[in-house]
Structure formats: C-alpha cells, structure tokens
Amino acid sequence: MIKTLRSEFNYFTSLLPVEIQEEFKNNAYICGGAIYCLHNDKVPVDYDFFCRDADFTNRITEYFKSYTTPFKNLQQGKYDNIAILITKYAISIGKYQIVTKYIGEPESVVSQFDFKHNCYWYDPKYENINQLYGWDYLDSNKLIFNDDRVRDISGTIMRIPKFVSRGMTITKKEIAKMLSKLKENGFDESENEILHDYTTY
C-alpha cells in the first residue's frame, strides 16, 4: 500500500512545475478513502491531497486557475492534457484532488473527517501511514460516525448513499449520532449552503 501511495504521490508531484515540487513534497499529504480502498484491495476512485500551509495552497490554486476559464461557479480547463475542475472546495486534476477548503496539519484535518474508516493519512516526508482512532476501521465495512466532527453534518448525512452503494453498511445508532450532533450545533450558514447545493442539483 505504501508503495502505491508513494508512486501516486510522486507521479502527481511530477506534473507540477519543477520550482514548486520540493515545496509540495514538504507541504502535502494524502488522506481519506484512497487508503481504505488500497487496504481492501480496491482501486481508489481518486486521491485526495491536503496541504499544511494556506499561502502555498493559495499559490497553487492561482497557478492552476491560469489554465482554466470560468464556467458558472466553476473553473474548467486542461493541464498537461488532463482535465481540470476548480470549485470553491478543491482543485481536481484527473483522479487527483487538492482539497483547498481545509488546510493544516494532518491530525487537525483528519479529526474533522466524517467517518472513521477515512481517518488515515500518508505522509511522504516520513514514508508512513498514520491513524487517529485506531487501525480496526480499515478492516470494517461499517460506517462509524466520527464524533469529533463539528462541521458540515448535513454533508455527512448526504454522503451515506455513496458509501452504501459501495457495499458499506450503517446502523440507526450512527445516524442518530449524526442527527444529535446536527441538533447540538444547529444550522449555520455552512449547513444551509450544503442543503441548498443538494436541493438545487
């Protein structure tokens, strides 16, 4: 698994301008569903990169924007013959995605992921995979809500069908935990925005 993550990380880094490749290696890490998929002998749909530094994230966003043109609320284009899509949350280049909405050290970012089977990250600086809540979740097909998550609970609930379609299961208890967290936090601007996005598709 580490060999594959290293290979994908290095390949994506090679697509970047030479002058920022080393900075990207020191700044970025992979986390989320790709690690779960690889552990379970599945092909990841995509690879999510997160960055530690906001200034670097802004610079790389502006770099890729130069290859795109506006389309509605998005930016679309091609980079090295690969399709680019830039939204307010991420930059997608083929199967690679740089998440721009959430920035910081891995522990901080991963602690806000919605389900615990996603709470792992690959750090190229140390050539290792790290976990926040234990290794057992990699071996389970049960969706376990991350109780530490405090943002976008509506988005978490809306993602359930995607995981179920991939063979995962969820109990009423886990759904109740999400609804309780939503009740506790209330509907802020972010929650309303998520619901608006889904209801206007």
Residue 201: pLDDT band (50, 70, 90) is low
Q: Where are the domains of the chain?
A: 2-140, 142-201
Which range, of 25-29, 34-38, 105-109, 186-190, averages the lowest pLDDT?
A: 186-190
What is the tens place of the pLDDT at every residue in 166-193? 999 999 999 999 999 988 888 777 777 7
| Record: fold of 2-140 | Beta Polymerase; domain 2 (3.30.460)
How many CA within 13 A on the CB side of residue 165?
5
Helix 54-65 vs helix 18-27: crossing angle, to nearest 10:
140
**Single pTM value for the model:** 0.89
Alpha-carbon span 170 to 140, nearest angstrom: 11
What is the tens place of the pLDDT at every residue in 60-70? 999 999 999 99
What lies within 8 Å, CB to CB, of 116 at 6+ separation is 133, 137, 144, 145, 146
More confident site: 10 or 150: 10
In this prediction, residue 38 carries a pLDDT of 96
